[in-house]
Amino acid sequence: MSETPRDVSPLFEPLIVRDVTMRNRVGVSPMCQYASEGGLPNDWHLVHLGSRAVGGAGLVIAEATAISPEGRITPDDAGIWSDEHVEPWARATRFLAQWGAVPAIQLAHAGRKASCWTPWLNKPRGTIPASEGGWQPIAPSALAYDERLATPTAMNQAEIDRIVAAFAKGAERALAAGFRMVEVHAAHGYLLHSFHSPLANRRDDRYGGSFENRTRLTVEIVRAIRKVWPDALPLAVRLSCTDWIEGGWTLDESVALSRVLKDEGVDLIDCSSGGAAPGGPMVMEPGAQVPFAERIRREADVLSMAVGGITKPRHAAQIVADHKADVVLLARELLRDPYWPVHAAIELGAYDDCPYIPRYDHWVKPKTD
């Protein structure tokens, strides 16, 4: 990566996807907040998500949001499995849209990683016992993620059909709540990724074995969502582009799946990695996953989003300028600095082309006199 990008302006150019326009190429990656009760978002979510819209992000993706109660990672996860969830989410989407960000939501099912303790509780990592409010995880095969998590129940066809229907219903509720983009979570060892990966999927039916079979559930879910999600609105899928483990899911397979998903109406691929199984030489330095986004963008001819350790404005600008990704997603850095996009625009000399919040403009705009 060179120190000075040839052109910094692409990071702050709009991106039009179907009938939705992102004001810039900076997005908020979905981050679990573990702050819900009964899956209902609350004031914390309004402020957490809203602060990033005020800070200038073009796209704000709400956390992994469970399409069923048993699809939660922890009891404190957000959900969208009932009509009761619609209006609390709508409070957030109205604010996000008012302040210029595209509101998006990640629909998820935790699979064999479900029913875990909330991270900051003083509990050992592992599955919550039923006696303390836990529930039985489900997965493609009865294989535990590791010795600390419960062995899941292998799903039968009726359970698979219910999951497909629940994702579609979640998308319908997301639309009612005012979200303008849906992202399907098929990464990090959760349910859909565990179907993709031979490390977790040992089935011998139409959902196991071949590439086509292992990806069948994700394709069925995308088809079901596209039937209820308007043609005018974008649909994204987050993939773990590699398991980083021999015998696991590969980047070649991610490229192939991205081609299939594009044909099914997916507009963006959110390119992450890992999580299917413990171990593996996972690379974590800044930008390590950008080559995944670049290759999927080039070979699958679909818009891609890059994520992972990207913290510096010039690095983010270079990724877009070099056509390695169409959107740069930030996570921890936007927790440290919700106004990162404004500060990046100032550093890159692009602030005058993209003023954000008039109420703050007097205080943050670079002085020229």
User: Is residue 130 situated within a structural domain?
Assistant: yes
Least confident residue range of 83-87, 250-254, 348-352: 348-352
Rounded to an integer, the average pLDDT of 257-266 is 98
Alpha carbons 369 and 16: distance in angstroms, whole number: 36
Task: Give the residue numbers spanning the domain of 138.
Answer: 9-364
**Does residue 369 lie within any of the structural domains?**
no
Q: What is the mean pLDDT of residues 311-330?
A: 97
Active site residue 190: yes
| Percentage of residues of the chain with pLDDT beyond 90 | 87
Q: Is the pLDDT of residue 8 over 90?
A: no
Domain count, the chain: 1
CA angle in degrees (0–180, nearest 5) for 203-151-79: 90
Token output for 138: 């489900």
In a domain? residue 4: no
Active-site position among 145, 190, 207, 356 = 190
Whole-prediction pTM: 0.95
What is the rounded average pLDDT of the residues 156-167?
98
Could you tell me if residue 266 is inside a domain?
yes
Task: For residues 101 and 81, give the distance between their C-alpha atoms in angstroms, rounded to a whole number.
Answer: 25
- 314-338 average pLDDT score: 97
pLDDT for residue 121 is more than 80: yes
Nearest to 262 by CA among 299, 213, 209, 314: 299
Could you read off the pLDDT of 17-36 as tens digits, one per residue? 999 999 999 999 999 999 99
Residue 192 predicted with pLDDT over 70:
yes
Mean pLDDT for 63-80 is: 98
- Is 347 a domain residue? yes
Instruction: Establish if 3 belongs to a structural domain.
Output: no
The average confidence (pLDDT) of the chain is 94
For residues 245 and 365, the model is more confident at 245
Residue 1 lies in a domain: no
pLDDT at residue 4, rounded to an integer? 41
| Domain annotation covers residue 283 | yes
Which CATH number do you get for residue 97? Answer: 3.20.20.70
Amino acid at 153: T
Task: Give the model's pLDDT for residue 368.
Answer: 61
Q: Which residues pair with residue 236 across a beta bridge?
A: 183, 268
Q: Which residues pair with 184 in a beta bridge?
A: 107, 237
